[in-house]
Amino acid sequence: MGKIKISLEALAPVFEKVEKISKAQRMMIYFGTITILIGAFVYFSYLPKYKTVDKLNQNYDKLEQQLATAKRNAMQLEKFRNNMKKAEKDYRLVMKALPEKQEIPALLESISESGQVVGLEFLLFRPEPEIKKDFYAEIPVSIQVEGSYHNVGLFFDNVATLPRIVNIQEINMTPLKVGDKLITSCSAVTYKFIDEASPEKSGEKKK
């Protein structure tokens, strides 16, 4: 009890001073004290949470950007896959149109028959040496036929409808002095697929 009495007596001058100040000053002290308490509460309680929320927002924005980048990459990857599928499909179609080595004689015979069925007379039908490219070889055939312009057109049309690729190049037409016939010289170029594992290539490598 003595200790409490002493403490109250020690605070008596402070109470006396507070009683002497004006009401306005008391209100200012009260408001100042409340402001300090609120400020301390905000500083020690709310501010750390605000910093945490701000950091989380920054991480969220960063993750959102990464997600957007990942989505763009995924779209590009899908586009790349589609392009690859299309390229593979086109490659397979080209491979189907390129005859194998064993099919070349039959293909050359088909070209010859395409001219004969429309009434052309073959004056020359000579396969030339192969011209090797990357994965295929060109096989040019020198052709010279005699017949009407109409029949030559039918011949070219028949060749174009063959299941294998055959291109007619270097066309030269010379009309005969008698009748409506003409001499047509051209080069029919077909193509052969070169298999990397073929004996031809193996022999070349051994040499």
Residue 9's domain comprises 1-97
Domain finish residue from 66, 97, 128: 97
CB under 8 Å to 148, separation ≥6 — which residues? 119, 180, 181, 182
109/47 same-domain check: no
What's the number of domains the chain is made of? 2
40/123 same-domain check: no
Q: Is 137's pLDDT higher than 80? A: yes
Domain finish residue from 60, 76, 97: 97
> Where is pLDDT greater, at 161 or 197?
161
Domain finish residue from 97, 121, 146: 97
pLDDT of res. 10: 60
The Cα–Cα gap between 176 and 173 comes to 10
| Residue among 52, 33, 204, 181 at smallest CA distance from 119 | 181
Q: What is the mean pLDDT of the chain?
A: 76
Q: What is the pTM of this model?
A: 0.48
89/29 same-domain check: yes
Specify the residue for token string 């929320």: 53
187/105 same-domain check: yes
Q: What is the pLDDT of residues 60-83, one digit of tens each?
A: 778 888 888 877 777 777 777 787
Per the domain annotation, does 207 fall within a domain? no
Percent of the residues in the chain that have a pLDDT greater than 70, as a whole number: 66
75/7 same-domain check: yes
6/67 same-domain check: yes
Per the domain annotation, does 166 fall within a domain? yes
15/106 same-domain check: no
20/89 same-domain check: yes
Q: What is the pLDDT of residues 4-56, one digit of tens each?
A: 444 556 656 655 665 666 667 667 776 777 777 777 666 666 666 666 767 77
Tokens of 42: 């905000």
pLDDT of res. 201: 45
